[in-house]
C-alpha cells in the first residue's frame, strides 16, 4: 500500500462512455477530452482504454499533452482545443497534431511553419460565440475561413465553438450561441468555404439534449463520472477516481491541545489524532482545513487543523480500533459511506474539476478493470500498427536516441452535414 494513491476504475470509464454514446446519434463521433492529465485520472491509460472502446479522437489543452500521447503510441487524431505558441508549432505539425485556430496571425504562423517544414498544418477554426475567450468573432469568421482556404499548407478539418454555460440547454445563452454558430456555418457552406466536421457539444450539452447535433461531441468531466446534480444523467454515471491514503501516526492529545500550523483547532476534550500522509501538494484543498471529512474504518472522521503540504490530521477519538496503516478514503466508498468529488468541492467552495485535477504527481495511480469494452459501435480511429497488437504499442527509439513519436492516423471523423 502506497502512502497515497488514486484508484482509477477503467470499467467505470467505459460505463460512462456508454452513457454518453446513448445520448448521441449513431454516426456522431466522440472526442474524449483528456487535458490536464485526463482531469487528474492519467491521460495515457485513459486514452488507450477510450480508444479501445470506440472513441474517435482526443482533445487536449496543450501541445505537450498531445506529444505525450504520441510518445505513448497513440495514433488517433488529437486536437489542441486552445492554442499553441510559436515555439510549439514545429513538433505539433511534425506529429500531425490538430490545432485550434482563432486569428489571422495564428493562421499565418502555422502556414509559414508548415511551408518551411514541407508539410501541412491541420486546423480547426474556433468561433467565439459567447465564451469570451479564445476564438474568432462570428463577424470575422468568414474572412478567416477565406484565409485558411487560400493557404497552401493549411488543411481545415473542423469548425468548432465552446459552450459557456455549465447548464447546457437549460440556459438560454446556449441556444443563442448555437444560433450564432449555425449562421456562420450556413454562410460558409453557401460560399463554398467549408463542408466538413462540426463540433460544439461538451458534457453539459450532451446531457441536456444536444448529443445528436453536429458531427462530433467533446465530453470531458462526464466521462469521469461527474456532472452538476441539476443535469439529467448524473445518477447513471459512475465515479472513475477514488483517492486514498493511510494513517502514518497516532497521537493522544489532552483537552485544550492545539493541532497544526497556528493551532487553529484545539481539542475540546482528550482525544486521539491520526496523521495522514497526504497534503495540499497531493491535491487536498487547503480550504478543507477544519471542515472536511474522510472515511476510516467505515466511519466519517473530521479534518482538524490546517491541511499542510505533506500531511493532514483527523480526529479519530470516537472511532474504535484505528491503527497505523489503516486505509483512509478521501474520495470514494468505504463501509457503506461515500464521499464524492462533488461533495469535497461543495465543502471547499470550488468545482469538482479542481478537486480531481489537483491530485498531485506523488499520488500513485492504480488502474483497475479495462478488460471489457462496452460500446465498440465504431472502429477505433487508430489502426493497428505493424508488428503490434493495438494502438498501445510502445514507440521505438530513433537513431539520435530520442523517442520517435507514433505515426498518427490522418483521417478526422465527420458526417459532412450538421
Q: Which helix (H) or strand (E) holds 276?
A: strand 271-276
Show Cβ contacts of residue 214 under 8 Å, excluding neighbours closer than 6 positions.
28, 198, 199, 200, 201, 418
pLDDT at position 372 is 67
- Closest by Cα among 252, 276, 288 to 329: 276
Tracing cell 449513431 back to the chain, one arrives at 26
112 is written with which cell numbers? 509559414
Q: Which of 87-91, 117-121, 233-237, 384-388 has the lowest mean pLDDT?
A: 384-388
Mean pLDDT, rounded, of the chain: 89
pLDDT at position 370 is 84
| More confidently predicted of 140 and 386 | 140
**End-to-end CA separation in angstroms for the chain:** 50
Q: What is the pLDDT of residues 26-40, one digit of tens each?
A: 999 999 999 999 999
pLDDT at position 374 is 53
Taking residue 23's Cβ as centre, other Cβ atoms within 10 Å add up to: 22
Q: What is the pLDDT of residues 146-175, one digit of tens each?
A: 999 999 999 999 999 999 999 899 999 999
pLDDT band at residue 394 using 50, 70 and 90 as cut-offs: very low
128 is written with which cell numbers? 467565439
The catalytic position among 251, 261, 266, 361 is: 261
- Nearest-angstrom CA–CA distance, 1 and 277: 12
The answer to whether residues 185 and 202 touch, using CB atoms and an 8 Å cutoff, is no
Is 381's pLDDT higher than 50? Answer: no
Q: Which of 113-117, 139-143, 164-168 has the lowest mean pLDDT?
A: 164-168
CA dihedral 266, 268, 272, 273 (to 10 degrees): -20
**What structural domains and CATH numbers belong to the chain?**
10-224 (3.20.20.10), 241-339 (2.40.37.10)
What would the mean pLDDT of 128-151 be, rounded to a whole number? 95
Annotated active-site residue 194? The verdict is no
Is 362's pLDDT higher than 90? Answer: yes
Q: What is the pLDDT of residues 245-264, one digit of tens each?
A: 999 999 999 999 999 999 99
The catalytic position among 35, 194, 224, 280 is: 35
Is 393's pLDDT higher than 60? Answer: no
Q: What is the pLDDT of residues 264-299, one digit of tens each?
A: 999 999 999 999 999 999 999 999 999 999 999 999
Annotated active-site residue 147? The verdict is no
Amino acid at each position: 500500500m502506497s502512502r497515497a494513491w488514486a484508484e482509477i476504475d477503467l470499467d467505470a470509464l467505459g460505463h460512462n462512455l456508454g452513457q454518453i454514446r446513448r445520448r448521441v446519434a449513431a454516426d456522431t463521433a466522440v472526442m474524449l477530452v483528456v487535458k490536464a492529465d485526463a482531469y487528474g485520472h492519467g491521460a495515457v491509460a485513459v486514452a488507450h482504454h477510450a480508444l479501445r472502446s470506440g472513441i474517435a479522437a482526443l482533445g487536449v489543452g496543450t501541445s505537450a499533452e498531445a506529444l505525450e500521447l504520441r510518445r505513448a503510441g497513440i495514433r488517433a487524431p488529437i486536437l489542441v482545443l486552445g492554442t499553441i505558441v510559436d515555439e510549439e508549432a514545429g513538433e505539433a505539425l511534425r506529429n500531425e497534431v490538430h490545432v485550434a485556430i482563432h486569428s489571422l496571425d495564428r493562421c499565418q504562423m502555422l502556414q509559414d511553419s508548415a511551408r518551411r517544414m514541407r508539410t501541412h498544418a491541420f486546423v480547426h477554426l474556433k468561433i467565439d460565440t459567447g465564451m469570451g475567450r479564445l476564438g474568432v468573432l462570428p463577424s470575422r469568421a468568414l474572412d478567416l475561413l477565406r484565409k485558411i482556404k487560400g493557404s497552401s499548407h493549411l488543411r481545415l478539418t473542423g469548425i468548432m465553438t465552446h459552450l459557456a454555460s455549465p447548464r447546457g440547454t437549460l440556459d438560454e445563452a446556449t441556444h443563442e450561441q448555437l444560433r450564432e454558430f449555425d449562421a456562420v456555418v450556413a454562410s460558409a457552406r453557401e460560399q463554398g468555404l467549408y463542408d466538413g466536421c462540426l463540433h460544439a457539444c461538451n458534457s453539459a450539452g450532451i446531457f441536456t439534449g444536444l448529443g445528436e447535433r453536429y458531427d462530433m461531441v467533446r465530453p470531458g468531466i462526464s466521462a469521469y463520472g461527474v456532472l452538476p446534480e441539476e443535469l439529467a444523467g448524473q445518477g447513471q454515471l459512475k465515479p472513475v477516481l477514488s483517492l486514498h491514503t493511510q494513517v502514518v501516526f497516532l497521537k493522544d492529545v489532552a483537552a485544550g491541545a492545539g493541532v497544526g500550523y497556528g493551532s487553529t483547532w484545539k481539542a475540546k476534550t482528550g482525544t486521539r489524532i491520526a496523521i495522514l500522509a497526504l497534503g495540499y501538494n497531493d491535491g487536498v484543498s487547503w480550504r478543507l482545513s477544519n471542515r472536511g471529512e474522510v472515511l476510516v474504518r467505515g466511519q466519517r472522521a473530521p479534518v482538524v487543523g490546517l491541511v499542510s503540504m505533506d500531511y493532514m490530521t483527523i480526529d479519530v477519538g470516537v472511532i474504535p480500533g484505528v491503527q497505523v496503516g489503516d486505509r483512509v478514503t478521501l474520495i470514494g466508498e468505504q463501509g457503506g459511506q461515500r464521499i464524492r468529488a462533488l461533495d469535497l468541492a461543495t465543502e471547499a467552495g470550488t468545482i469538482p474539476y479542481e478537486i480531481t485535477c489537483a491530485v498531485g504527481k506523488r499520488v500513485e495511480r492504480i488502474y483497475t478493470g479495462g478488460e471489457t469494452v462496452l460500446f465498440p459501435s465504431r472502429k477505433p480511429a487508430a489502426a493497428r500498427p505493424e508488428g503490434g497488437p493495438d494502438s498501445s504499442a510502445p514507440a521505438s527509439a530513433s537513431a539520435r536516441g530520442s523517442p520517435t513519436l507514433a505515426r498518427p492516423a490522418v483521417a478526422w471523423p465527420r458526417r459532412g452535414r450538421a
